[in-house]
Structure 1
Amino acid sequence: MSEGYLTTHVLDTARGCPAAGISIALYRISGNSHTKIAEMVTNNDGRTDSPILPKGKMSAGEYELIFVCGPYLDAHKMTGGAVKFLDTIPIRFGVDDEAAHYHVPLLLSPYGYSTYRGS
């Protein structure tokens, strides 16, 4: 059994604070198939209350995190009109070491975002 796990968090780089209340879904990708394996919401620290993929559940392969950011951006009056530049942000990534800790954060602003493999 693997001991690897997956964590994430969202930082609002425009406001300089954690982004609370963002819905996040995790999918396992296999060819054209997407299987939802977890769904959580960020807390006041911009993190999920537990790993989005806990120890013992990680396996090598392709995954996708879907961050639903539109409602958060609306709530903080960071959208310019009826059509948002950013609303739902997908981040697809691969896991090749199922014993490792993968941390995939989202750095969010109304008109851009970035991510990286953290620790």
Structure 2
Amino acid sequence: MQKSVITTHILDTQRGRPAVGVGVRLFKSATGSVADPQWQSMASAATNDDGRIIDWLGTRERESGLYKLEFATGAYYAAQGLSTLYPQVDILFEIDTPTEHYHVPLLLSANGFSTYRGS
């Protein structure tokens, strides 16, 4: 399995388990500007049984720029019969060294979230 330059992992901290089946979309800014990003869709996938997406870009060339991960958290909680304060979580991040791997994890609960640069 090819590991893409951008990967993600979602941990449902409320349940203490990986968040399985969460829809995630990846976008790249056409302008590189946060004020007017003009998002272009690059890929979409759902998290696997370990809460990860590691193979969605395949061998696509690595590019610097502004990116966005869009997590469908509302649908994830609705499937469990729960509600959430955050029906969608968007994380913007910038790739400035395209030779490096960018892992963007999401720590998620129904009423909060956090992220960091993983390895």
Contact 1:26–1:52 at 8 Å: present in 2 too? no
Secondary structure in 2 aligned to 1:70? helix
TM-score relative to the length of structure 2: 0.86
The count of residues paired between Structure 1 and Structure 2 equals: 111
Aligned residues with identical type, % of pairs:
41
Secondary structure in 2 aligned to 1:71? helix
Query: In the aligned structure 1, how far is the partner of 2:57 from the partner of 2:97?
Result: 14
**Matching residue's letter, 1:77:** G
Contact 1:6–1:54 at 8 Å: present in 2 too? no
- Alignment pair present for 1:11 and 2:11: yes
Partner of 1:74: 78
Partner of 1:106: 106
Offset at residue 56 of structure 1 (A): 4.2
Partner of 1:58: 62
**Matching residue's letter, 2:70:** I
Partner of 2:46: 41
Query: In the aligned structure 2, how far is the partner of 1:88 from the partner of 1:15?
Result: 19
TM-score relative to the length of structure 1: 0.86
Secondary structure in 1 aligned to 2:57? coil
Structure 1 unmatched runs, 5+: none
- Deviation digits for residues 15-67 of structure 1 (CA, Å, limit 9, x no counterpart): 0000001000000013331100010100111012x333344422011000000
Secondary structure in 2 aligned to 1:87? coil
**Matching residue's letter, 2:8:** T
**Matching residue's letter, 1:23:** G
Alignment RMSD (CA, Å): 1.5
